[in-house]
């Protein structure tokens, strides 16, 4: 449950500067989103950009950026750069798309452990249901895998995390939140040594919408 001092709301133009700075703090090894990129995301799909606000100050302390894709046009192991058209969201396809892609979710380090990531995800899932999309797809980092790379493959690591034999700091949380693993992929993010540059494609299926005829659940 969301703590009383926070709320989830749609992104507003006043948030761009704060969210760019937040991205730089959360991902110090990556180029942060610029104000111009965030504005482009907002123009492309305003209903799909969510902000966690700290009510006492009005500050944007978390965000979830999404777009709708027709995933038949992509491969399941395509990296983030491909799925987001280089971070521009220019491939957002609300007419033919059936999958909400969670391009990014982030929470300020000072505001973690208040349920913000879970509530941002819940907001995106409600959008899936409202728009009668088939599913939501994202990717989970595997920060526990880097130190186990010499012991097992990424696929074996993911299988054991799913089975509950191992605990991964990120993937285990996603599994408890109702996500399913599709497969392990390499190179989803280019600068993630903790994960050995591996990730897991994850999905959440909308129970109220059948899969499109062009796709099978597998």
List pLDDT tens digits, range 110-163: 999 899 999 999 999 999 999 999 999 999 999 999 999 999 999 999 999 999
> Are 44 and 93 found together in one domain?
yes
Banded model confidence at residue 215, pLDDT cuts 50, 70, 90: low
Boundary-marking domain end, from 92, 113, 133: 133
> Are 160 and 90 found together in one domain?
no
CB-CB contact of 111 with 62 (8 Å): yes
% of the chain with per-residue pLDDT over 90: 78
Strand partners, 69: 99
Residue 112 within a domain:
yes
> Are 179 and 102 found together in one domain?
no
Give the model confidence (pLDDT) of 15-69 as tens digits: 999 999 999 999 888 889 999 999 999 999 999 999 999 999 999 999 999 999 9
Whole-prediction pTM value? 0.90
Q: Give the tokens for residue 48.
A: 């799909």
Give the model confidence (pLDDT) of 148-158 as tens digits: 999 999 999 99
- Output the pLDDT for position 216: 54
Banded model confidence at residue 217, pLDDT cuts 50, 70, 90: very low
Closest CA to 177 of 76, 105, 81: 105
CB-CB contact of 134 with 71 (8 Å): no
Give the model confidence (pLDDT) of 165-194 as tens digits: 999 999 999 999 899 999 999 987 777 889
Q: Give the tokens for residue 84.
A: 């987001």
Closest CA to 175 of 155, 154, 159: 159
Residue 216 within a domain:
no
Output the CA torsion sign for 20, 87, 186, 122.
Answer: positive
Structural domain containing residue 34: 1-133
């Amino acid at each position: 449950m969301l703590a009383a001092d926070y709320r989830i709301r749609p992104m507003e133009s006043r948030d761009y500067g704060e969210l760019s700075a937040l991205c730089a703090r959360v991902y110090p090894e990556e180029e942060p989103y610029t104000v111009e990129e965030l504005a482009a995301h907002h123009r492309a799909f305003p209903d799909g950009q969510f902000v966690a606000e700290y009510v006492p100050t009005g500050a944007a302390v978390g965000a979830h950026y999404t777009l709708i894709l027709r995933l038949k046009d992509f491969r399941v192991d395509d990296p983030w750069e491909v799925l987001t058209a280089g971070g521009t969201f220019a491939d957002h396809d609300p007419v033919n798309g059936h999958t909400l892609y969670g391009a990014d979710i982030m929470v300020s380090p000072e505001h973690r452990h208040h349920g913000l990531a879970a509530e941002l995800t819940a907001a995106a899932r409600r959008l899936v249901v409202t728009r009668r999309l088939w599913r939501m797809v994202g990717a989970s980092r595997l920060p526990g895998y880097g130190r186990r790379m010499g012991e097992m493959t990424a696929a074996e690591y993911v299988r054991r995390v799913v089975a509950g034999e191992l605990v991964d700091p990120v993937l285990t949380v996603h599994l408890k939140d109702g996500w399913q693993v599709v497969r392990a992929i390499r190179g989803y993010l280019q600068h993630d040594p903790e994960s050995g540059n591996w990730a897991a494609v994850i999905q959440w299926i909308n129970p109220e919408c059948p899969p499109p005829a062009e796709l099978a659940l597998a």
